[in-house]
Chains A and B, each alone.
Chain A
Amino acid sequence: LIAGPRGSGKTTLIDIAYQSTLSSVPGQRPVIVRLHGPSLLRGRVPSQTPGVAEQKAIDPNATDLMTENVLISLVTNLYQTVAEEFASAYRDIMCPRTPEDHERAAQLRLALDGAPGASTLRDFWESADAMETGVLFHPARRLSMNDVEALRKRPDQAKLEIAALATASEAYRRCTGKLETTEKDENNATREQELKTEASAKGKEIAQALVSVLAGLSVGGAAAASGTAATPSAVAGAVTALLGMVTLTYTSSMKRQSTTRREITFLPDLSVTVLVHRFPLLLRRLRQAGIAPIFMIDEIDKIPAAADSLNQLVSNLKFLCADTSFFCFLTDRAYLSDVAKKTRDTSNNTLLTVYTDLMFVLYETSSFSSYLDKVIRVPIIPDPKRLNELLWDKEALRLALVHRSRMLAFNLMREISEIRLQDDFLNVRQLRGDPLYQMFIVMQLAVEVVLCDPLVSERVRQDPDFGQIIYDALYYPSRIWYQGQEEMDCTLEGLEAGMTSLNSPGALVPGPSDRTDYLELLKPDDRKFLYAQVRVLLGFVCEPIRLRDRVIELIEKKQLTISNVVADVCSTAPILLTRKPGIENKDKYIWRYNWYCIPYKTADMGEIMETVAGADLLLDSMVNELLKVFPSPTVPDIEEDSIPAMGFIMDFQRELLSLKLTA
């Protein structure tokens, strides 16, 4: 079970894993069978025959119906993937040859659409000279030494391939064929024997017969002369004569015909039972031929109320998922949390044996930063000053892009593509001086400062699931900002409601959710922890100078790796966020600029001058008054206390001196 937020790259993760294992198992070719979760669990499998659907619709057992749908979908997609794999392999072999061979390759591709039988496949294999090696591991394709070695142990590779593909083809036909289709398998075994003789007795023929007898006798005499016993010789001669006579004089006829006729009418049985048994066989044959299917069931998080259906499904198909195939279920965090909770709560949960690995895709800011560090390169230029400027710009751009992506991988890619020019240079100017970029730099620095807190980083490290919620919380203000909401409620209740609203499955997919509320599983302390971190973050955004100080402190402690110059952006960035005035508005904030750096409230010059003049009055007054503050006691104050004390001491000294010590 691979979980992660939308756009986090779960599919890419599998693709990368697939690529890296492609040649690592000798004699096996992994293929990814992609399945659309919503179609699998909720929709009907596209069927060529209305009758099939009708039959299913009246099926009273909903679970069986869903399981059947799933099996049909598995078989259909598996066949199409496998057929494509064979067609590609075939093309690889045929393309370097004659134009006729090219055409043959195209023919196979089309033929596979019609789910051909074994004889047709054999014909294609023969024309590719692949009846020994098969097509998957044909020498014309690039093979590793390990593949070659593995294939030595499979001399019947071609037969295995044809058998596997034919089995898949047959299963595919079952799933997509018409219900009325019958298969007739007629077996006629006819054996006919005819023995035809004629007999006639005409005078001339009798005379000829006599001559034959004599000839027979002469054969007998010769046999006797050669030392053979006299009687048998004579008999042999007579038999010869008689045979000659029969042949020549006797015609008779005898005919015997034996016919066995068996006709089987096969009505495809699409019930669960049959497919359930057929599917493992198909998988086994594919494996024998060197095809290792990886089933990837995607987009499960887009199904409202998916958890129960999925649990029911995987429980029913456990023997497929866990025993004979490699299944990847791609889902969102909520389902993972549900599974984790169920497996914690119930020691003997079926899901434990189905989902042998629970994985969660969590991107940290450092992951995005590392990626950007790799893909954005600064050209080597001789002017060190200019080079430094570019390096600082790169850091600033990295911060701005990470924040604009709101920690979603596909957002990051889109942001990069928006500034990427045709010659691969990036279209950014005045990065550190542009208020638009400055705002994002401030926001991202605030996030990274919070993440540097050992308490926060430790929680992210130890509990990636909660770590994702921390990230959600830290990027919650930005999402509100992005939505164009001028005011933001970050009280504990407001934050929880807002985060739940933004992150619950219902936020994007309408319909009831079976999953627990987004934050429901969190302990009260964890909720307060999130609230506290968001408060810290917003405090920094409201006070960018304090943020700069903190960033520089973290740079000195080597907990943040950016330049002081980039930290200084905080000093000149526009004040993006302010606290809403009034005690009753604690934890409520107002954005001063929207996502595109346009102020929510514009002002004219006159208003600005008037406002500034009012502020100047107090600033000037305060500066002057501060200069006049004299924190030390005044001279009279000192004298008031010290003169009597000094007088007392002097008097005491005088008395001491005048003291007469007598023995």
Chain B
Amino acid sequence: LTLLAIALLLIAGWPLCRALDPEARGVRVAGESLLFGSGATAMILFLLAAFGVPWSRPCVFSALGLVVVACAAFAARRTGPEHGRVEPTGSRAWIVVDIVSGTLVAAHLLFASLERPYEWDYFGIWGFKGHLFYVTRSIPWPILRDVDFAWIQRGHPLFAPLLYDVVAIVSGEWRDRDLGLLTTAFGLAVILIVRGLVAEESAQRWHRSLVTLAVTPAALSMWVGLAEGFLIGFATSGILLVRRGLLRDSPRSISAGAVLLGCAAMTKNEGTAFIISAAIAIVVSHRRSPVIPSRSEESGRGPQAEGHHPDPSLRLGMTLWRRLFCLWPAAAVVAPWIVARRLVHIQTDFLAGNLAQREEHLRNAAHIVHQIFATPVDDHVFWWAAVAAIAFHWRRAGGLERFLVAVLASQLAFDVLQNFLVPWDPDPHIQFSWNRILDQMAALTAFTASMLIVESFGHSANNMADMFLPPPSPAPARHGRADKSGGMAAALQATPR
């Protein structure tokens, strides 16, 4: 029944995906549909509870049906540019890498469903709220402002428990043993979106397979039952869609990403930091974001045939203000929670306590930073290798992937900063959260590092042997176009700085 609930979210999200991101194609549609469907259903539960309507299957399904029909009608009138199908090229042997990625997803599925979630954060915060909401068939707002329930982190956003409630409402019972499947589903959604986005940028099979493999373990959160899996799903996909919008000069893509970033902010407070990080990164990367022509533009189909010039150096991209304005859906999605928090007087941790505590933390800044570096991280090998890869390809990182690098740097700064803002002793806070908080950026970091690595091999490679052939001719770059095989480095070189 949990799988049925996930299938329902996927189906319900399909019209939303068509309406919000009409440019989505291929496997990306499935990933985005699950995320949009989950976000919409959780928001419906939130709004029903806000207006005092008890949750029931007919009520929830009716509201969801209305949203789906409205989005389907809207999507019918809103069609994206016809990009044409990009036929993959290169050796089919790379499917072996895809099988490894698939095996990792299967392993996570087993891991997530072996046993019911056991972390304290599950039965103390996310699971408790979800179970309580399901038992009361609504959100008991008085409990969220009751100091006796301070341990449930009353100020945390509610999408994670609400997603558990969606599964419980569909299946008709609270079965925490199967809730881990949601974590796997969200990880899989990220993987599909990454696969689809890379397929747009490169026709090479090895390129798609390797980036997918790099992102797969990082997208599958090991914190089963916690909000991390949902946050990774919403935030990673949102940032990547914004990146696509910047590269393709597509306001729709940026706005679709912003909707997912809003869902991330409705999942955890770090999601709000992701929205701010995206805005900062748009500003930082504005002058250096090249407009990549779609593959159909390169091959003469689509917009080029309609008179658009494919040369990125001649195409005028969106202004900085327009790009920033495209993020407005993020604010719209998170607004109901901010209003509800005001009306119900729910206090967030970061606003609790007094200024003297923060001054004390600032005086101990060196100790706090030392604690952060001293805290053991599970996948420290991954982090060292990923950071080394980004540093090794610093030219490309500061150019084409400047947006992603700026997002990661900004988000890391926010994650460090939050240790100074907590009203309690930061030492245990760092000890119990730093390892987990880093995981929220792991998929984005893996994507950035792996894109830089595969780009360094050039796009002419069809197989492992071809990797060691000379780089593609710079001739196309002189004319400011991506190379015929979809290389972004050439486009970057041609972009006016």
| A and B together in one complex | no
Give A contacts to B, CB under 8 Å: none
Give B contacts to A, CB under 8 Å: none
